[in-house]
Structure 1
Amino acid sequence: MDDDRPEVLLTGLLFYDLVLTGLGRPPAPGEEIWTGGMGCGPGGIANLAVAASRFGLRTSLATVFGDDFYGAHCREVLAGQEGVDLALSRTADGWHTPVTVALALPGAGPAVNGVAPAADRALVTHGQEPPYSQDALMGDPPEARTALVHLEAEPRAWIAKAAANGTHVYADVGWDPTLQWSADLLDQLALCHAFLPNETEAMAYTRTDSAVAALGTLAELVPVAVVTRGAHGAIAVDQTTGEYAEVPALDVDVLDATGAGDVFGASFVAASLGGWPLAERLRFAVLAAGLSVRHHGGALAAPGWYGVRRWWHSLTDPALERAYGFLADRIPADVGPPVRHAPVTPPVLRP
């Protein structure tokens, strides 16, 4: 098989994100609130693409860019700055790139067992359905080592084609606005190598009352099952190796949780491609997601190897040094240039 094949194959909707942070609470109707933090950059499927590329993975993205400033800016960041392969992507004449304004908000409610409630966000988006579907963009997908997909109620034909090519499909799923949580969606796991929902989604789809019970059900449907638990970390089972792992979250100050789940997924794939033990894969993904929430936005908050190395060399906590000691042998000699985080104002595009 061609060694130059993509290591990560992606498709999905791209957004231009404008993120506001430092809000103590959301504004009431008719009220104006000033805030001290802001960042902008590509979002949506770009979160996965940038997170994967910053770990040195050959990343191929099939998406649609509008023929507007937002689309041009996102294309420049993804291809020119982050090295994402956009050969499968298209620019749609007369179509407007979706724009999302994200308000990063503090978690609501009291601390539970000493753990503060997770920070949350409110989103307002302007956009329309893209003129090209995922299946139209992908066609017959190229052979790839992995694909990161978002399962929806209506199965995508390209996912079955990718799985038939020998691509390992890593899937997540989103919130069901109908609150039906149809178990039929889980039928698609027959095509998947791994499934990485959060605990709310996992319990809803499996009709269970705990993350552990949900994990047990999912482990019967897919070789690698992961349930993310926000401030409580993550748990996972790998049926191919017989491993079980449970790891805590990092204790970090959350600036913006946008895209943290995407960073987790891309990091888990990166570690999986390296053949790491399950506990290391899970700790690594939790670490990368934890580092990402300290910065604005989703895509440009991804730490990459550069950010992981900075964190590792800054450690003074003996317990964390022991827990993450495996990084000493995992961090590559060349971690790439310093990562660029989401700017307050986008730079002028190159002519």
Structure 2
Amino acid sequence: MDDDRPDVLLTGLLFYDLVLTGLGKPPTPGEEVWTTGMGCGPGGIANLAVAASRFGLRTSLATVFGDDFYGAHCREVLAGQEGVDLTLSRVAHGRPTPVTVALALPHPRSGEGRTIHDRALVTHGQEPPYSQDALMGDPPAARTALVHLEAEPRAWIGKAAANGTRIYADVGWDPTQQWSRDLLDQLALCHAFLPNETEAMAYTRTDSAVAALGTLSELVPVAVVTRGGDGALAVDQTTGEYADVPAVDIDVLDPTGAGDVFCAAFVAASLGGWPLEERLRFAVLAAGLSVRHHGGALAAPGWYGVDRWWRSLTDPGLKRAYGFLADRLPADPGPPVRYAPVTPPAPHG
């Protein structure tokens, strides 16, 4: 309670997201497709920042905003509405904020007879004029940092780890599909690694999520493999715990940012010192609640969303599985969260 460091340190690319849902199929050339749902708001690294802040974590974000309407709107949402500290962030004068149009599309999973959801993305933008290392410099001491590992290691991550910051890392799709194991060398700096099962199996050269988890658990103290609609599994070598939990059955509107919400929730529960199974169930639940709303950042449920879900729960099996929430939820979960609007408010002035 006496620790005044940021709870979470973040850096990465920020986007303005326009998310379209309710598409029965993707559009084809020459065709106009009407959609039944739309939402807009900050995306990219903002997904992690908002998700963490809504769980009451002091969140410090280093990113680059364009000097346009989209950049001003994203700054107002992050700092003014969500309470994210933007001291380390900068404005790139003369450069637009990257904009992403996301199409949330259902498609059948081959051979399983059920529908899963994914998204197609179209982005306009430029690389920012400041790198992550330039933004961070000598990073401030923080309790944790949520990082996205890339082929080229970022110097600031090593500096942060040397400061005593616990590094929680994920990784993205490798467009080269080489899945170089050299990337895993960076896990020596990390406290936890949270890839999805496709990434985990590819980097470890294994053929199952369980086998991938076994390999990763030898490289990092806390290894987590997320499995989308099949839940998640994890090993914590610091406590000797293993957990494998199912997903919560929730209707999917838009899966954008669900992985980021999972990571932020897992960090929040870890900072609370929860047992591994509770950490994993909480993260799976938070990610599940996020897919019921448009967009990435503003779909994050926060304590308010989790509290509402718990209070409305009638399923006895879920009541037992999530009974720990009765002791974990704050007495005041805060005001209702604001979800992604169809259109942003008009600029001031």
Q: Which residue of 2 aligns with 1:272?
A: 270
SS in 1 for 2:224: strand
Letter in 1 for 2:127: E
Q: Which residue of 2 aligns with 1:315?
A: 313
- TM-score, normalising length from structure 1? 0.98
Residues 276 and 339 (structure 1 numbering): CA distance in 2 closer, same or farther, change over 3 Å?
Answer: same
- TM-score, normalising length from structure 2? 0.98
CA contact (8 A) 2:109 2:116 kept: no
**CA deviation vs aligned residue, 1:239-280 (integer Å, no higher than 9, x gap):** 000000000001111000000000000000000000000000
CA contact (8 A) 1:118 1:230 kept: no
SS in 1 for 2:95: coil
CA contact (8 A) 2:60 2:85 kept: yes
Q: CA deviation at 1:117?
A: 3.9
Q: Which residue of 2 aligns with 1:108?
A: 108
Letter in 2 for 1:108: P
After TM superposition, the structure 1 = structure 2 runs for residues 276-287 of structure 1, keeping only pairs within 5 Å, are 276-287=274-285
2:13 and 2:166 map into 1 onto residues whose CA distance is 21
2:226 and 2:35 map into 1 onto residues whose CA distance is 30
Q: Which residue of 2 aligns with 1:348?
A: 346
CA contact (8 A) 1:148 1:169 kept: yes
2:108 and 2:135 map into 1 onto residues whose CA distance is 40
Letter in 2 for 1:121: R
Q: Which residue of 2 aligns with 1:45?
A: 45
Q: CA deviation at 1:336?
A: 1.2
Q: Which residue of 2 aligns with 1:291?
A: 289
SS in 2 for 1:348: coil
Structure 1 gaps of 5+ residues are: none
Q: CA deviation at 1:350?
A: 3.8
Residues 182 and 117 (structure 1 numbering): CA distance in 2 closer, same or farther, change over 3 Å?
Answer: farther
- The Cα RMSD (Å) is 1.1
Identity, in percent, stands at 86
Q: Which residue of 2 aligns with 1:96?
A: 96
Q: Which residue of 1 aligns with 2:174?
A: 176
Letter in 1 for 2:54: R
SS in 1 for 2:159: helix
1:5 and 1:237 map into 2 onto residues whose CA distance is 27
Q: Which residue of 1 aligns with 2:164?
A: 166
Instruction: Choose the corresponding residue for 2:336, options 327, 335, 338.
Output: 338
2:150 and 2:335 map into 1 onto residues whose CA distance is 36
Structure 2 gaps of 5+ residues are: none
CA contact (8 A) 1:66 1:95 kept: yes
After TM superposition, the structure 1 = structure 2 runs for residues 19-38 of structure 1, keeping only pairs within 5 Å, are 19-38=19-38
